[in-house]
């Protein structure tokens, strides 16, 4: 009962953390509660650190949609997703915002699909790295990697679960180039 109360308090205090969790128990299975159902200071600090790396669901969905548009060589649809991507980045904080905000600012500078892909790749890599930082069972999306992306040499992107591999860095030219990272 005390553990359930502690979980409910944390859900109310930190609701965004449960975007990536299957359920509250899966998050707290990794954090031991003392006999009174209370988090120690170090466990609470670890929880806060994990919480700060969680990406908003709107960012995950919008960047997955943007990657899909690039993979399908659809520049107009890609551009339609950018305002949501950029707004979602602005709602982040800490390390996530410090890393993603400068990269997100450049997303709208591409005047054609080739230049859009070049600005998307570094941003996409950074997002994919945050997703990979989560335990595999709690990841919000699949992460894929292309071994020969045009900007960084090795590019990563995310796609929502159950999506087939669609490479946004080359589109139809090399649509299925890459592999899923586990």
Taking the C-alpha atoms of residue 166 and residue 12, their distance in angstroms, rounded to an integer, is 37
Please check whether residues 66 and 147 belong to one and the same domain.
yes
**What per-residue confidence (pLDDT) applies to 68?**
95
Domain boundary among 21, 36, 52: 52
Those residues of the chain that have pLDDT short of 70 are 1-53, 161
DSSP 176: T
**What per-residue confidence (pLDDT) applies to 161?**
66
Q: How many residues does the chain have?
A: 182
**What per-residue confidence (pLDDT) applies to 6?**
42
Taking the C-alpha atoms of residue 146 and residue 156, their distance in angstroms, rounded to an integer, is 6
**What per-residue confidence (pLDDT) applies to 56?**
84
Count up the domains in the chain and report the number. Answer: 2
Range of the domain at 157: 57-181
Please check whether residues 119 and 75 belong to one and the same domain.
yes
Taking the C-alpha atoms of residue 152 and residue 34, their distance in angstroms, rounded to an integer, is 46
**What per-residue confidence (pLDDT) applies to 32?**
52
**What per-residue confidence (pLDDT) applies to 137?**
77
Taking the C-alpha atoms of residue 89 and residue 115, their distance in angstroms, rounded to an integer, is 21
**What per-residue confidence (pLDDT) applies to 53?**
63
Please check whether residues 25 and 108 belong to one and the same domain.
no
Please check whether residues 89 and 157 belong to one and the same domain.
yes
Please check whether residues 61 and 47 belong to one and the same domain.
no
**What per-residue confidence (pLDDT) applies to 16?**
39
Task: Give the position of tokens 């600005």.
Answer: 119
- 0.85 exceeded by the pTM? no
**What per-residue confidence (pLDDT) applies to 110?**
86
């Amino acid at each position: 009962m005390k553990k359930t109360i502690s979980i409910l308090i944390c859900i109310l205090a930190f609701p965004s953390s449960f975007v990536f969790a299957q359920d509250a128990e899966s998050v707290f299975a990794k954090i031991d509660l003392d006999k009174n159902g209370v988090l120690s200071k170090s466990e609470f600090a670890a929880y806060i650190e994990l919480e700060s790396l969680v990406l908003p669901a709107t960012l995950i969905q919008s960047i997955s949609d943007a990657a899909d548009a690039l993979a399908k060589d659809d520049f107009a649809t890609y551009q339609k997703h950018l305002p949501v991507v950029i707004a979602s980045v602005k709602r982040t904080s800490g390390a996530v915002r410090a890393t993603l905000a400068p990269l997100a600012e450049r997303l709208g500078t591409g005047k054609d699909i080739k230049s859009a892909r070049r600005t998307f790749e570094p941003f996409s890599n950074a997002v994919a790295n945050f997703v990979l930082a989560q335990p595999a069972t709690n990841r919000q999306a699949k992460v894929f990697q292309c071994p020969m992306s045009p900007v960084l040499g090795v590019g990563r992107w995310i796609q929502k679960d159950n999506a087939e591999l669609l490479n946004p860095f080359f589109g139809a030219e090399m649509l299925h180039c890459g592999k899923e990272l586990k």
